[in-house]
A and B are shown apart, each in its own frame.
Chain A
């Protein structure tokens, strides 16, 4: 219970608004053409700051997933650069990254514990060395007691929690999420939204969250980057200046509605342009 209390307390700390924090990574003139000839991204400039919760919003096919994959170092840039930095000092390598896919992407043959243990195992930690951290991560996503279950014994929402726990356990500085809740029903999605915000506050993460839902992006993020397709590029970059913690009250507030309307307008422009 103490854990939950802690989480709530830290979540109530007002999160900084975009731009006031040092940069974490910068995409400069990034273009990506696949070997099929599809130009997925063209000349994308984007600076992501430490502690930001940034949503990439856009129609299907506008290159949102491609941006995430490039940031994660999965795939080569065709043009441009991605530079990582720690405040004002450039970093030679990318920092530790957590990635959550739209599908839970678990190993079906392994228990919840072993799935969450995977990143630490790959780093060479033995099971006994990792046990506490793995169990803590499982607890943090609310799955205490499910360590010995197999993925197929869990519901969709719970599988996604395992996937988040696996990202969490490696203590990444930045979490990349590619439409993680798109396949879930609305009630489960709302609950996971709230839990994600709580973890974000708790873990001091930077989150890049891909979604095609205006409502989800306005609820979660303090900055929304609207993208347009063919070729994929940044269409608009807006700040959502509403305080955290956010809850049902925010979801029904006038501010929320206004931001949703603004984001919708940008999205429509992006789709017609």
Chain B
């Protein structure tokens, strides 16, 4: 056989993705747009002389962020640590449960509805209960964030484990592969893109869960997170500080999203359709 003779049947040569082109198309436009909106905001606030306790301008928010950094930063750490612990716990539990589901359709049919129930019940509605039951407030917050983050990972990974190319499964059967071999060689890698998609959604949800639960808990003290800073600021009409805390929460969410997107891209870039740049 000779592939070199196949002039019309050449391998597809992919142009390398250059960093500068990504920066130019994906980063510069949104940043410019953001700066424009901030400028507009500042101008509107100044021209209409809106009082800072209604809507502070972005410059004032920035100043407050720097001024109050001493108290905001520890809160940021608290929120981030709850979010990340919840995400890790959700990943471990989610993958474990999906793998269990993959072992038997019966187990899946038995348990999946309860995962759905957990998902559709609003976290604000169960957070008070959890906070009453669990003495340690951080553990309670972690559980709330975990509940919210857990479902996308379970449902996506389960879907992934079940969507293995059935011809590939036939082939494994033909070669006499054991269940273990099928699982490690075919089903798990097939599920990887689905899992990573779920993880990206869960990253954002874990943060939302952590913040919402803290709103419900409403506890103060040294170990409180950003949500409590927002509550506190609203009671005392420190609106710029409220915005500063909000900014930190949003920034954390964006960072989590970017990191997970990057990780997912690095893992899938050589083989998965989602990571391919198509021309034309």
Interface residues of A (CB under 8 A from B): 4, 69, 72-74, 97, 99, 101, 103, 105, 107-110, 118-119, 121-123, 140-143, 146, 149-158, 161, 170, 185, 187-188, 191, 195, 198-199
Residue B115, interface by CB 8 Å:
no
| Interface pair A150/B271, CB less than 8 Å apart | yes
Given A153-B11, A158-B11, check contact A143 B186 (CB 8 Å).
Answer: no
| Interface pair A105/B168, CB less than 8 Å apart | yes
Against A, the Cβ 8 Å flags (1 = close, 0 = not) of B136-153 are 000000000000000000
Q: Which residues of B contact A119 (CB under 8 A)?
A: 175
CB nearest neighbor in B for A140? B1
Q: How large is the interface on B (under 10, 10 to 19, 20 to 34, 35 or more residues)?
A: 20 to 34
Q: Which residues of A contact B173 (CB under 8 A)?
A: 73-74
| Interface pair A158/B185, CB less than 8 Å apart | no
In whole angstroms, how far apart are the Cα atoms of A150 and B14 in the complex?
Answer: 12
Interface residues of B (CB under 8 A from A): 1-6, 8-14, 165, 167-168, 170-177, 181, 185-186, 189, 192, 270-273, 276
CB nearest neighbor in A for B4? A142
In whole angstroms, how far apart are the Cα atoms of A105 and B177 in the complex?
Answer: 16
Q: Which residues of B contact A103 (CB under 8 A)?
A: 167
| Interface pair B189/A155, CB less than 8 Å apart | no
| Interface pair A105/B167, CB less than 8 Å apart | yes
| Interface pair A170/B171, CB less than 8 Å apart | no
| Interface pair B1/A199, CB less than 8 Å apart | yes
CB within 8 Å: A-B pair count:
97
Q: Which residues of B contact A150 (CB under 8 A)?
A: 270-271
Chain B's nearest CB lies how many Å from the CB of A246? Answer: 16
Q: Which residues of B contact A151 (CB under 8 A)?
A: 271
Among all A-B residue pairs, the 10 with the closest Cβ atoms: A142-B1, A195-B1, A142-B3, A105-B167, A157-B9, A109-B189, A108-B271, A142-B2, A122-B175, A101-B167
Q: Which residues of B contact A152 (CB under 8 A)?
A: 12, 271, 273, 276
Please list 11 pairs of residues, one from A and one from B, whose beta carbons are closer than 8 Å in the complex, sorted by A's number. Answer: A74-B174, A99-B171, A99-B174, A105-B171, A118-B175, A119-B175, A122-B172, A122-B177, A152-B12, A153-B14, A155-B12
CB nearest neighbor in A for B268? A109
| Interface pair B10/A155, CB less than 8 Å apart | yes
In whole angstroms, how far apart are the Cα atoms of A74 and B166 in the complex?
Answer: 12
Chain A's nearest CB lies how many Å from the CB of B48? Answer: 55
Q: Which residues of A contact B165 (CB under 8 A)?
A: 105
| Interface pair A146/B11, CB less than 8 Å apart | yes
Given A109-B192, A109-B271, check contact A198 B167 (CB 8 Å).
Answer: no
Q: Which residues of A contact B3 (CB under 8 A)?
A: 141-143, 146, 157-158, 161
Q: Which residues of B contact A155 (CB under 8 A)?
A: 6, 9-12
In whole angstroms, how far apart are the Cα atoms of A119 and B172 in the complex?
Answer: 8
| Interface pair B2/A4, CB less than 8 Å apart | yes
Given A105-B167, A157-B9, check contact A141 B185 (CB 8 Å).
Answer: no
Chain A's nearest CB lies how many Å from the CB of B194? Answer: 13
In whole angstroms, how far apart are the Cα atoms of A80 and B11 in the complex?
Answer: 46
In whole angstroms, how far apart are the Cα atoms of A267 and B172 in the complex?
Answer: 34
Q: Which residues of A contact B4 (CB under 8 A)?
A: 142
Q: Which residues of A contact B192 (CB under 8 A)?
A: 109
Give the residue among A121, A146, A155, A188 with the most B Cβ atoms within 10 A.
Answer: A155
| Interface pair B170/A118, CB less than 8 Å apart | no
Chain A's nearest CB lies how many Å from the CB of B63? Answer: 50
| Interface pair A74/B176, CB less than 8 Å apart | no
Give the residue among A141, A143, A150, A152 with the most B Cβ atoms within 10 A.
Answer: A152
In whole angstroms, how far apart are the Cα atoms of A110 and B273 in the complex?
Answer: 14
| Interface pair A99/B9, CB less than 8 Å apart | no
Residue among A107, A157, A191, A199 making CB contact with B186, cutoff 8 Å: A107
- Known pairs A157-B3, A187-B8. 19 more at Cβ < 8 A? A4-B2, A69-B170, A74-B173, A99-B171, A103-B167, A105-B171, A107-B168, A140-B1, A141-B1, A143-B1, A146-B11, A149-B11, A152-B271, A153-B13, A154-B12, A155-B9, A157-B6, A161-B3, A185-B8
